[in-house]
Amino acid sequence: MWVRIWAAVVVLAGCGSVDDERAAAKSDDSQSSEGLDSADTEPIPTWHQDVAPIFSRSCDGCHAPDGVGSPTWSSVEDVVEWAPVIRAAVEARTMPPWKAKGDCSDYTGDVSLTDDEIDRIVRWAEGDAPLGDATAAAALPDAWQPVSLERVDRTMRMVDLYTPESDAGPDDYRCFLMEWPEEETVWVTGYELLPGNTQVVHHIIPFLIEPSSADAYRALDAADADPGYRCYGGPGGNVDTLLETRWLGAWAPGVPASVLPEGTGIKVEPGSLVVFQVHYNLINGSAPDQSGLALTIETEPQAFAEIQPLTDVRWVLGVGMDIPPESTSVSHSWSTTISSGFTMHNGSLHMHQLGRAGRLWVEHADGTEDCLLEVDDYDFDWQRPYELKEPVRVMPGDTIHLSCTWDNPTGDTVGWGDGTGDEMCLGVSLITG
């Protein structure tokens, strides 16, 4: 479906780091009429007046006692105890884990913090985390609630319990096969990833495999005595099957269930497979896992929907995506002009460990632009779809652009591949007709 065109090697200028931005924001502040002096005399923010509303919106969804975050906190005393660590995490912008840049687009469920909110948390922690007056507490916004499916028709799980293991480093990347259980053509209209054990499950990408490619994956599975087989960044398999592989979402901590737009569904034929790729992290020790997938399914035909990987076919075939040894800020970009209209509902980016920044956007024929996703501190562990508040309609003649930027500190040229040391550059988007 995607036309290939020449991929240019460009070194992006001005890929500013977070530190640059913080510095810029600070110098802006110092030029404001209030100036730095007033900041010195400003009262220390308190939990009840200033900080609790931020936590309610942006943290508690993951860090409440039954949440996926670690640590979890069940009382304000717990939070206060963690204040120095919290301060470090928000200042470094590692928490909350929200990688989409806000000036690209507006997203549902945005938990990111403004510079002012970060500043408030930092000054609160520096000031010994005072509670303030509980009787005059600020109103709390609605806590962010993960969406779940209204109706579950099928739950698929890994066939066996698997206890992750690793001989090199704290990570185990593994693919598990799930035979597609339906005997007629169906349409998936909603899905939710069910991590079995969040102590070890770091992220999950389920891939849908066509019936014609299924045996190749069954052979990979059969060749490994343990449950599943080793894989990374893709379902394993060869490049041809990778190109026709569809995604069924992507899970990282905090990613909710997905319900497709009304009347649309992802068509799945009997005899298909789900290759369930799980990234295990063993930093907290190993433990058995049996993750799964819950689905809402329709047997009535639904309008076209697909989770579409977008990339340059040449890269996949090993051409044009070289990342030279000991290089920084190497970018490759690709674009394709579209011949039939469709709507894009979300955006995600997929690179491996060397990925640093990326952007996915649409250039309309009239010269206007819609950005789907821009990330300038890419993290393999936190890849997820970002759902656009306003879907983007793409018309014939519009162009889709994708750009990825890497740092390669190794002594080897790195190119496209399935291994931990290889790279990829994919945009992924839920599209409907």
Binding site for ligand HEC (CB under 6 A): 58-59, 61-63, 68-70, 82, 85-86, 89-90, 94-97, 111, 113, 253-254
Phi then psi dihedrals of residue 115, to 5 deg: -55, -40
CB of 45 or CB of 97, closer to ligand HEC: 97
CB of 86 or CB of 274, closer to ligand HEC: 86
CB of 50 to ligand HEC, least distance (A): 13
CB-CB contact of 310 with 202 (8 Å): no
Closest among 332, 331, 388, 323 to 362, alpha carbons compared: 388
Give the CB-nearest residue to ligand HEC: 254
What gap in Å lies between CA 220 and CA 77, rounded to an integer? Answer: 51
What gap in Å lies between CA 404 and CA 209, rounded to an integer? Answer: 26
CB of 33 to ligand HEC, least distance (A): 29
CB of 109 or CB of 227, closer to ligand HEC: 109
Produce one character per residue of 200-214: b if its CB has 16 or more CB atoms within 10 Å, e if not.
bbbbbbbbbbeeebb
CB of 234 or CB of 254, closer to ligand HEC: 254
Which run of H or of E encompasses 52?
helix 52-58
Which amino acid type is present at position 118? Answer: I
User: Taking phi first (over 0 means left), then psi (-120 to 50 degrees means alpha), and beta for anything else, what does residue 366 get?
Assistant: alpha
CB of 63 or CB of 279, closer to ligand HEC: 63
CB of 73 to ligand HEC, least distance (A): 9
CB of 414 to ligand HEC, least distance (A): 25
CB of 93 or CB of 401, closer to ligand HEC: 93
Residues 6+ apart with CB under 8 A from 43: none
CB of 121 to ligand HEC, least distance (A): 7
Burial degree of 119 (CB within 10 A; 0-12, 13-18, 19+): buried
CB of 281 or CB of 333, closer to ligand HEC: 281
What gap in Å lies between CA 430 and CA 258, rounded to an integer? Answer: 10
CB of 92 to ligand HEC, least distance (A): 7
Phi then psi dihedrals of residue 374, to 5 deg: -135, 130
CB of 164 or CB of 254, closer to ligand HEC: 254
First to last CA, the chain: 13
Closest among 209, 206, 278, 275 to 241, alpha carbons compared: 209
CB of 432 to ligand HEC, least distance (A): 26
CB of 141 or CB of 301, closer to ligand HEC: 141
Identify the three-state secondary structure at position 339.
Answer: coil
CB of 167 to ligand HEC, least distance (A): 22
Torsion sign (Cα): 25, 348, 157, 222: negative
Which run of H or of E encompasses 15?
none
CB of 10 to ligand HEC, least distance (A): 32
CB of 281 to ligand HEC, least distance (A): 7
CB of 69 or CB of 358, closer to ligand HEC: 69
